Amino acid sequence: MIKGKYNSLKMPELIHLEYRNKKAVESYLRFYHNHTKKLLLALFLFVVKASPIWVTPIITANIINILTNPDPDIIGALLTQFIIGSVFVLQNIPTHMWYIRVFSLVSREVERNLRSQLCTRLQHLSIPYHTNNKMGVLQIKVLRDVENVESMTRMLVDSMPMIIISFATAIVVTSIRAPQFLWFYLVTVPVAILIYQLVRKRMSEYNTDFRLSMEEMSGKIIEMLKLIPITRAHNVEHDELEKVNQKLEKVKTTGLRLDFLNSVYGSVNWVVFMMFNLIALFTAVLLCHKKIIHAGVGDVVLLTTYFNSITGSVMGLMNTLPMITKGLESVKSIGEVLECPDMEMNSNKPDIDEINGNFVFDKACYSYENNDKYAVKDFSLNVQEGETIALVGPSGSGKSTLMQLLIGFIRPQKGTIYIDGNNMNEIDLRSYRRFISVVSQETILFDGSIRENITYGSKNVTEAQLWEVIRSANLTEFVNALPEGLDTPVKENGARLSGGQRQRMAIARALLRNPRILILDEATSALDVESEALIQEALDRLIKGRTTFVVAHRLSTIRNADRIVVLDQGEVAELGTHEELMEKQGIYYRMVMLQSHEISASEAVNMGLRMEN
């Protein structure tokens, strides 16, 4: 039954809707568009707290002038300058604390929001997107790239006001005391811009190369960690380390190239601006000596101090431009996720609040990217409520693809799938999945207790309900033998559990959801014969009254299925009950005979059965 929009997984306003097709700088500014007032307050507080930097040279110059041109009331004049200086210096304590408080609130809020939006986006991107992107690459976007953006913001807030106010204060004071000296300040800006423009494009390219090499390296290391048991079992540690070292070498090479460019850039800045300082000092003294400008000794110190401050600030800003480039590169990296259109497209579609379990597959087709051959081709089948459908066939025949279509991880490129008469392309699949339980051949457990793993995805579970599914999944003896029972910790992926125990926990998790549709993808593949028999009994009780789809290589587990669909190269090759298919003596018959060892593999091939890996 279709009703209103599905709200239990309500998606917040996503950043990508605002930043699509925007340049990196514009996208970066939009990250902070809801915090403008707080940022302005932080900038104001920064100016106030840093005011001694610009006031102290004036006070120093006044004191030197007082000493070189004695005032009758020299004590009073010096005391006045001391009081003024003290007020400006002491106010730094409260204003600095206030500034840090306001800025940190903005910075940490944006940092949290960015990571939240990235995680939200990743949750809503399609399964093929996650299949095509390594976990390490996505992890580095959520962690390292957001950190780079936050670091760039902190650096900009600490540097930009200093530069702007240093320039403004120096120009105003100089125009009053020695206007002939203004041209020294004005020369530094175009020189700084010229130096930056000379290396900007190369710096951006090197940052991109370094980011991509870091993503590749992170992805490879995560892959290596997952493969350690297989690597160790096959004695190929050296080969795996060679692959990792290749990625590490690439990171080193791109990093060295970027570091060298940054060092050249920084050293050129330093030399240029230090030369400006020397020239400014000697020019100021020479102009005063020649009486070209009329200024006291303190004024000469003031002019050179301001110029040193300006050149030092500009040099500091120029040296942070690599960090800005790095931060903007991270903005682009974040945008690759936030702007990716590869989503399930559930928004604004009606939800389903009730499911009976009737399916109609109408010539459904699907092919994977860069593959002209259909994984599933013209698949048509009517499934009635409560029916058990088994899917069998050689490896690569399309069984797993059909399961992904059924769950809604992928959508038919041709044809249609209907659930209770509703086109699955036209409903919110999140609401549909509330009525599904999936037990796959790859059991996924997280770092938590036995209780938390079994109840994952279910709410308000009573102890009676929990123990009922534990008994149904044949876990009672196992749980009772644990030192902490249901509260016993389980390491990530159930490292301390046997394959059968992990699989039975996954089955208990599925049982607890009390689904209308049950999907068993090699659900008993990890069990020994005894456990398989016990679980099969529980599953037989569970599937009664529920629409069930079973993918199985162990054909003995599907003899009682209402219908068995035999797939071959993505198409329906045979359809019927176990008895009907055995009578046909086709593909299914040969598979059964092969598994029961009544014919050999070579005989099965000679009879027409494909034996792909």
pLDDT tens for 498-521 read 777 777 788 888 888 888 898 888
Give the containing element (helix H, strand E) for 188: helix 182-233
pLDDT at 19: 44
Q: 28-37, pLDDT tens digit by residue?
A: 888 888 888 8
Residues sharing a CB contact under 8 Å with residue 501, sequence separation 6 or more, in sequence order: 475, 478, 494
pLDDT (tens digit, 9 = 90+) per residue, 398-418? 888 898 888 888 888 899 999
Q: What is the pLDDT of residue 383?
A: 93
Q: What pLDDT score does 1 carry? A: 53
Q: Residue 587 and residue 608: Cα distance in Å, rounded? A: 8
Assigned token pair, 88: 């400006």
Burial class (CB in 10 A: 0-12, 13-18, 19+), 564: buried
- If pLDDT is split at 50, 70 and 90, which confidence band does 613 have? very low
Burial class of residue 40, CB neighbours in 10 A (0-12, 13-18, 19+): exposed
Choose the weakest-confidence range: 51-55, 139-143, 313-317, 398-402.
313-317
Q: What is the pLDDT of residues 340-352, one digit of tens each?
A: 766 666 777 888 8
- Classify residue 484 by burial, with Cβ atoms within 10 Å: 0-12, 13-18, 19+: exposed
Residues facing residue 550 across a β-bridge: 390, 520
**Length of the chain in terms of residues written:** 613
* Residue given tokens 């604004």 in the structure block: 348
d(CA 555, CA 558): 6
Q: Is the pLDDT of residue 332 over 50?
A: yes
- pLDDT band for 370, please (50, 70, 90 cuts): confident
Domain 354-606 has CATH 3.60.15.10: no
Residue 269 has a pLDDT of: 67
pLDDT-based confidence at residue 12 (cuts at 50, 70, 90): very low
Q: Tell me: pLDDT of 98 over 60.
A: yes
Q: How many CA atoms lie within 13 A of 493 on its CB side?
A: 6
pLDDT, tens only, 260-278? 887 777 677 667 766 766 7
The CA radius of gyration of the chain, in Å to the nearest whole number, is: 35
Q: Which has more pLDDT, 193 or 380?
A: 380
DSSP state of 557: G
User: Average pLDDT of 109-116?
Assistant: 86
Neighbours of 544 (CB within 10 A): 9
Instruction: Decide if pLDDT at 362 tops 90.
Output: yes
The whole-number average pLDDT for the span 110-136 is 78
Beta bridge mates, 574: 566
- pLDDT band for position 563 (cuts 50, 70, 90): very high
Q: Which residues contact 104 (CB under 8 A, 6 or more apart)?
A: none
Residue type, 171: I
User: By mean pLDDT, which of 136-145, 392-401, 534-543 is the weakest?
Assistant: 534-543
pLDDT in tens, 148-157: 888 888 888 8
- Distance, in Å, from the CA atom of 603 to the CA atom of 115, rounded to the nearest integer, reads 57
pLDDT at 11 over 90: no
Q: Is the pLDDT at 86 greater than 80, yes or no?
A: yes
Q: What is the mean pLDDT of the chain?
A: 78
Specify the domain boundaries for CATH 3.40.50.300 within the chain.
354-606
**CATH 1.20.1560.10 domain range(s) in the chain:** 16-338
The phi, psi pair for 4, rounded to 5°, reads -70, -165
The one-letter amino acid code at 41 reads L
Q: Is 427 exposed, middle or buried (0-12, 13-18, 19+ CB in 10 A)?
A: buried
Would you state the pLDDT for residue 418? Answer: 93
Mean pLDDT in residue range 203-231: 76
> What CATH number was assigned to the domain covering residues 16-338?
1.20.1560.10
User: CA-to-CA distance for 276 and 491, rounded, in angstroms?
Assistant: 62
- If 0-12 CB within 10 Å is exposed, 13-18 middle and 19+ buried, where does residue 154 land? middle
